[in-house]
Amino acid sequence: MSTERAKLAPGEKPFYVGWSNCNDEAGKILQKYYEKPYFLSTNAENIDLSWIFMGGPGHGAHMHLSGRKVWRLAPPPECLYKCKPLEVTVEPGEIIVVDTNRWYHQTFILPGEISITIGSEFD
């Protein structure tokens, strides 16, 4: 990647990278950067699977540590005519929990922002 693209220079295409973490030790380090959401059962445990995503404006992924992100949610087919689509901007420090097996979703990083994301699953 060029330095200009990495710096989000005008005219450069925004970047987006992501990977799954397969290293248990690295996963434990990543878990230090977020807490289990308070509304999950005390029995819920973090599954040893995590992802890391980084990107510039126009792209996005799930939980993020830094940057603002727009989430667009569309209801599942069985609720399509009764439920309305939702759009929300998640600010730094906020969390949104979405069952992505039920709700269709898109995420977008806002212009001028860079997003750093850690995704995780709980049982």
Question: How far is Cα 52 from Cα 65, in angstroms, rounded to an integer?
Answer: 10
Write down the pLDDT at residue 64.
52
CATH level 3 topology of 3-122: Jelly Rolls (2.60.120)
Q: Determine the Cα–Cα distance for residues 123 and 120; give it in Å rounded to an integer.
A: 10
For the chain, which residues make up each domain, given as ranges? Answer: 3-122
The span from the CA of 45 to the CA of 117, in Å, is: 20
For the stretch 8-47, pLDDT in tens is 777 877 777 777 777 878 877 877 877 777 777 788 776 6
Please give the DSSP secondary-structure letter assigned to residue 76.
Answer: -
For the whole model, what pTM was predicted? 0.56
